[in-house]
Structure 1
Amino acid sequence: MHLKGWKHQLPGTNECPVCQEELCPSVPPSCPAGKVREHCGCCWECAVREGQPCDLHPERHFYGQCGDGLECVVQEEENISYGKTPEPLCVCSSRQAVCGTDRKTYRNSCQLQEAANRGRKRNLAIAHMGPCKKAPVIVSPPQDIITLEGHDIIFGCEVSSYPVAFLKWRKEGDSGFLPGDDSHIAIQARGGPQRYTITGWLQIQEIQKQDEGLYTCYSRNEFGQASASARLWVVPPDSPLAVYVQTHDVGIFDAEDDEEDVLEEGSTDFEPKQK
Structure 2
Amino acid sequence: MWAVRGLLLVLVLVTAQSEPQPETPAEALLSGEGQPCVRGAGPRCGPGLECFRADKKSKVGVCTCKSTHEVCGSDGVTYKTPCALKSANDRRDQELQPEPVTAKGKGRCPSAPLIVTPPGEVYNVSGSQVYLSCEAVGVPTPVLTWNKVVNGGRKKVELLPGDRDNLAVQTRGGPEKHQATGWLLISPLTEAEQGSYECHASNSQGATSAVGAIHLVQSLEDISVKRVLKDEEL
Asked if these proteins are the same fold (TM beyond 0.5), I'd say yes
Which secondary structure does the structure 2 equivalent of 1:113 belong to? helix
Residue number among 186, 209, 214 corresponding to 1:232 in the alignment: 214
By how many angstroms is 1:161 displaced?
Answer: 1.6
What's the Cα RMSD here? Answer: 3.6
Distance of 1:126 and 1:115 partners within structure 2 = 12
Distance of 1:76 and 1:201 partners within structure 2 = 45
Distance of 2:202 and 2:164 partners within structure 1 = 24
Partner of 1:104 in structure 2? 77
By how many angstroms is 1:216 displaced?
Answer: 0.9
Distance of 1:54 and 1:145 partners within structure 2 = 55
Give the 3 Å change call, closer, same or farther, for CA 75–155 of structure 1 in structure 2. farther
Is residue 113 of structure 1 aligned with residue 86 of structure 2? Answer: yes
Partner of 1:70 in structure 2? 49
Give the 3 Å change call, closer, same or farther, for CA 209–126 of structure 1 in structure 2. same
Determine what percentage of the aligned residue pairs are the same residue.
31
Give the 3 Å change call, closer, same or farther, for CA 111–224 of structure 1 in structure 2. same
By how many angstroms is 1:89 displaced?
Answer: 4.0
- Aligned positions, number: 196
Which secondary structure does the structure 2 equivalent of 1:54 belong to? strand
Is residue 132 of structure 1 aligned with residue 109 of structure 2? Answer: yes
By how many angstroms is 1:194 displaced?
Answer: 7.7
Q: Give the AA of the match of 1:92.
A: C
Is residue 41 of structure 1 aligned with residue 26 of structure 2? Answer: yes
Contact 2:145 2:199 in 1 (8 A): yes
Give the 3 Å change call, closer, same or farther, for CA 209–65 of structure 1 in structure 2. farther
Distance of 2:214 and 2:183 partners within structure 1 = 14
Partner of 1:25 in structure 2? none
Give the 3 Å change call, closer, same or farther, for CA 69–224 of structure 1 in structure 2. same
Contact 1:97 1:131 in 2 (8 A): yes
TM-score (ref. length: structure 1): 0.57
Which secondary structure does the structure 1 equivalent of 2:45 belong to? coil
Task: In structure 2, list runs of 5 or more residues that go unmatched.
Answer: 1-22, 151-155, 228-234
Q: How does 1:1-275 map to 2 (within 5 A)?
A: 41=26, 43=28, 47-50=31-34, 54-55=37-38, 57-59=39-41, 61=42, 64-74=43-53, 88-119=61-92, 122=97, 123-173=100-150, 175-192=157-174, 195-237=177-219, 241-244=222-225
More helix by share: 2
Distance of 2:197 and 2:126 partners within structure 1 = 17
Give the 3 Å change call, closer, same or farther, for CA 201–107 of structure 1 in structure 2. farther
Contact 1:209 1:235 in 2 (8 A): no
Q: Give the AA of the match of 1:72.
A: C
Partner of 2:19 in structure 1? none
Give the 3 Å change call, closer, same or farther, for CA 107–154 of structure 1 in structure 2. farther
Contact 1:147 1:245 in 2 (8 A): no
More strand by share: 2
Which secondary structure does the structure 2 equivalent of 1:112 belong to? helix
Contact 2:71 2:80 in 1 (8 A): yes
Q: Give the AA of the match of 2:37.
A: C
TM-score (ref. length: structure 2): 0.66
By how many angstroms is 1:208 displaced?
Answer: 2.4
Task: In structure 1, list runs of 5 or more residues that go unmatched.
Answer: 1-36, 78-84, 247-275
Give the 3 Å change call, closer, same or farther, for CA 203–76 of structure 1 in structure 2. farther
